[in-house]
Structure 1
Amino acid sequence: MHTIDGIRESTRVAMSELLAVAKMEPGQFFVVGCSTSEVRGNKIGTDSHIDVAEVVFDEIYKAVHEYGIQLAVQCCEHLNRALIVERSAITWEEEVNVVPQLHAGGAMAMTAYARFNNPAAVEYIEAHGGIDIGDTFIGMHMKHVAVPVRMSIKEIGNAHVTACRVRPKSIGGSRAVYNESLL
């Protein structure tokens, strides 16, 4: 069994490593998908826990806030993986009406809804970076071209962790020259 302090530290380290290489600009969206069931060592969607969600949310929120990045928290499949965001972050995204619950949205989305100043739900975003804790499939919310970020943290609690950032599409052929700082 992993401790809350261990979960907190793993999340903090993962976010530090990810944001150090993500090349994100202030105002861009960072998406998180998190199964607290998986963090606790159980099958996704079967054992949601607010205490785990609060710890993970707090560490992620603290990290993205330092970079001026907007946080988007993915709901579970029962809400079609809608996202909870700060209403002020909505630009082109259309707001939808739903309030996440423990078994319809999940503990992480509930925590975001409770902790954001003025929460709103949207169905689609185009994030520039993200972390997936427990194989929740955040890829549908990533801008093209998403590339993996390798981190020293492979698990948070018992949940498998992957992360990504985006880069502009490289177009052209064998004669093209690319801006190395964007790769």
Structure 2
Amino acid sequence: MNEEFARLKNDLDVLIEQLEASDFFKEGEDLLIGCSTSEVMGHHIGKESSMEVAELIFDAFHQAAERNRLNIMFQGCEHINRAVTMEYDVARAHKYPPVSVVPHRSAGGSLSEYAYHHLSRPVVVEHAAADRGVDIGQTLIGMHLHHVAVPFRVEQKTVGKANVTLAYSRPKLIGGPRANY
């Protein structure tokens, strides 16, 4: 592994350690990962997609999802309308109807393509509503999070050269000033 990939793996390890230490992951919940491998490598989003970076990121979060008993989902890029790749059983449990597309580097992005080929029974859905999300490289995951999304912060703010944005969701507050929460 070259020095750049060693630093990237370290960034991922530190990020995941901080998320685990701060109780970000909740057993049984859905975790959405959005990532521009181009941004991770310091390039403009969608311009220098990397399967090697995708593999590192997939492996790190897939292992974290298994350890923490999470359902993991991977958001594709705008060329497939940011459709989400996940395990078939998760889509079925949520009643998310599958769409006919196979993500690839130029339409879906490297991470979505890698996930599609490495999940046990992959399916792609047009809309999802995840409980938590990790956005690496400003891929705009908010459209696939439950309302209301709440920012979450840890010390590790980048993976490679890409900014990391984290969010979890909470129930809506309704009822106005007379309501108790």
- The SS at the match of 1:95 is coil
**What RMSD, in angstroms, separates the aligned Cα atoms of the two structures?**
1.6
Note if contact 2:25-2:70 (Cα within 8 Å) is conserved in structure 1: no
Note if contact 1:131-1:163 (Cα within 8 Å) is conserved in structure 2: yes
CA apart distance, 1:23: 5.7
Tell me the residue number matched to 1:42: 43
What does 1:123-138 correspond to in 2, within 5 Å? 123-138=126-141
- The SS at the match of 1:15 is helix
Structure-1 separation of matches of 2:3 and 2:177: 50
Structure 1: which 4+ aligned runs deviate by more than 2 Å?
15-25, 170-178
Tell me the residue number matched to 1:100: 103
Give the TM-score of the pair, scaled to structure 2. Answer: 0.91
Tell me the residue number matched to 1:82: 83
Note if contact 1:86-1:120 (Cα within 8 Å) is conserved in structure 2: yes
Structure 2 segments unaligned to the other structure (5+ residues): none
- The SS at the match of 2:102 is coil
Structure 1 segments unaligned to the other structure (5+ residues): 179-183
Question: Matched residue pairs, number?
Answer: 177
Give the TM-score of the pair, scaled to structure 1. Answer: 0.90
Amino acid across the alignment from 2:120: N
Q: Which residue, 147, 158, 163 being the options, matches 2:161? A: 158
CA apart distance, 1:15: 2.5
Note if contact 1:33-1:138 (Cα within 8 Å) is conserved in structure 2: yes
Gap change, CA 1:2 and 1:134, over 3 Å in 2 = farther
Identity across aligned pairs (percent)?
40
- The SS at the match of 2:34 is strand
Structure-2 separation of matches of 1:2 and 1:133: 20
CA apart distance, 1:2: 6.7
Structure-1 separation of matches of 2:25 and 2:58: 21
- The SS at the match of 1:96 is coil
